Structure 1
Amino acid sequence: MREKYIEQKLVREVKKRGGLCEKWNSGSSGWPDRIVLLPDGKIGFVEVKAPGEKPRKLQVHRHEQLRALGYKVFVLDDMGQIGGIIDAIQTA
């Protein structure tokens, strides 16, 4: 399974729950691929990877920066994780 298909499924599932799943083009490297915006002001960040792939060192650093600011950050490499990630963002 390719990263692209996992990312497309994430976008569809977030939309089903009334949210937005926007691509993050920050102009600098290492930031998560997607910003998930859900009703009631819920926000989370998702790094999408092909199955079994891990974030690069710079990506891990960016994730730590966001978590230090109190944001939820997830690494998604399996379609089966999508529901749990969205649930975790909604209950934040």
Structure 2
Amino acid sequence: MNEKLIEKKLRDKVKSLGGIALKLYSAYHIGLPDRLVLMPGGKAAFAEIKTTGKKPTMLQEKAIAELQALGFKALVIDSQERLNKFLEELRNE
């Protein structure tokens, strides 16, 4: 599955659950995940979207590890299965 399709499915599903999936960009912090997902109840998570089989860069892996060390959910989503798992974990928090 390609990155654009996964990203669209993420945005659509998050919206249907009452949340928003904001596109992230920073000129000062390279490697940030693609999306900041904000859900009702103050839940926040980060999603790095990749085409199936592609891996995050070293900078992306570092940024994800930093966010996880701060206590945030930050995951790589590269398939429908990983997307489903990400969304299920958000709902269950």
Q: TM-score, normalised by structure 2?
A: 0.92
For 1:69, the aligned partner's letter is L
Deviating beyond 3 angstroms after TM superposition, the runs of 4 or more aligned structure 1 residues are: none
The match for 1:2 is 2
State the distance in 1 between where 2:71 and 2:91 align: 15
Aligned residues: 92
State the distance in 2 between where 1:89 and 1:4 align: 21
The match for 1:21 is 21
How far apart are 1:80 and its partner, in Å? 2.5
Partners of 1:32 and 1:63 within 8 A in 2 = yes
How far apart are 1:84 and its partner, in Å? 1.5
State the distance in 2 between where 1:88 and 1:9 align: 16
Listed as ranges, the matches of 1:62-77 within 5 Å are 62-77=63-78
Question: What's the Cα RMSD here?
Answer: 1.1
Q: Percent identity?
A: 40
Question: Structure 1: 5+ residue runs without aligned partners?
Answer: none
SS at match of 2:9: helix
Partners of 1:42 and 1:90 within 8 A in 2 = no
SS at match of 1:40: coil
> Which segment drifts farther, 73-82 or 53-62?
73-82
Listed as ranges, the matches of 1:36-51 within 5 Å are 36-51=37-52
Question: Structure 2: 5+ residue runs without aligned partners?
Answer: none
